[in-house]
C-alpha cells in the first residue's frame, strides 16, 4: 500500500503522521507520545523512536510498503526520521521539504533614534 508520511520537526518535539493517498490518517505519534519528556524529546533518537513506532503501526494496520515523505521544520529530528523510515523497510518514493518560508514577513520594528 502507498501512503504519505508527514514529519513536523520543531526544536521541542517531532510529530509524525501517516496517511493513505487520500489523506485519511492511518497512524500518528510524537517523541512525547513515545515516552520522552523535556529536553530528551528534542533529540534525534527520540524522533527515530517515534517514527519507528508510527511506521510499524501503519504497516500492521494497512500494510504500508511505499511512502512519500513531507518534512516541515528546522528541528534535530529531520534526518533521523528519514533514516528510521528507511530502516523500517518502507520504500521512500519522494522527499519534499514543506517548511513555510516567509517571502516578506511581518513589518520590521521602527528604527531606533538616539
pLDDT value of position 64? 92
Task: State which fold the 2-97 domain adopts.
Answer: Nucleotidyltransferase; domain 5 (3.30.420)
Q: Please, what are the averages of pLDDT over each run of 10 residues along the chain (114 residues)?
A: 95 96 94 94 95 94 94 94 94 95 91 91
Q: Are strands 25-30 and 14-19 parallel, antiparallel or unpaired?
A: antiparallel
Regarding pTM above 0.75, the answer is: yes
Domain boundaries, the chain: 2-97
d(CA 48, CA 3): 19
pLDDT value of position 74? 94
pLDDT value of position 114? 87
Cβ(44)–Cβ(80) under 8 Å? yes
Amino acid at each position: 500500500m502507498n501512503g504519505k508520511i508527514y514529519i513536523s520537526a520543531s526544536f521541542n518535539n517531532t510529530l509524525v503522521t501517516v496517511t493513505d493517498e487520500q489523506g485519511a490518517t492511518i497512524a500518528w505519534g510524537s517523541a512525547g507520545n513515545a515516552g520522552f519528556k523535556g529536553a530528551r524529546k528534542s533529540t534525534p533518537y527520540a524522533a527515530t523512536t517515534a517514527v519507528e513506532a508510527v511506521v510499524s503501526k501503519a504497516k500492521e494496520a494497512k500494510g504500508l510498503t511505499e511512502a512519500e515523505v513531507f518534512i516541515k521544520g528546522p528541528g534535530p529530528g529531520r534526518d533521523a526520521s528519514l533514516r528510521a523510515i528507511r530502516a523500517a523497510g518502507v520504500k521512500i518514493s519522494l522527499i519534499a521539504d514543506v517548511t513555510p518560508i516567509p517571502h516578506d514577513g511581518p513589518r520590521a520594528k521602527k528604527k531606533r533614534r538616539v
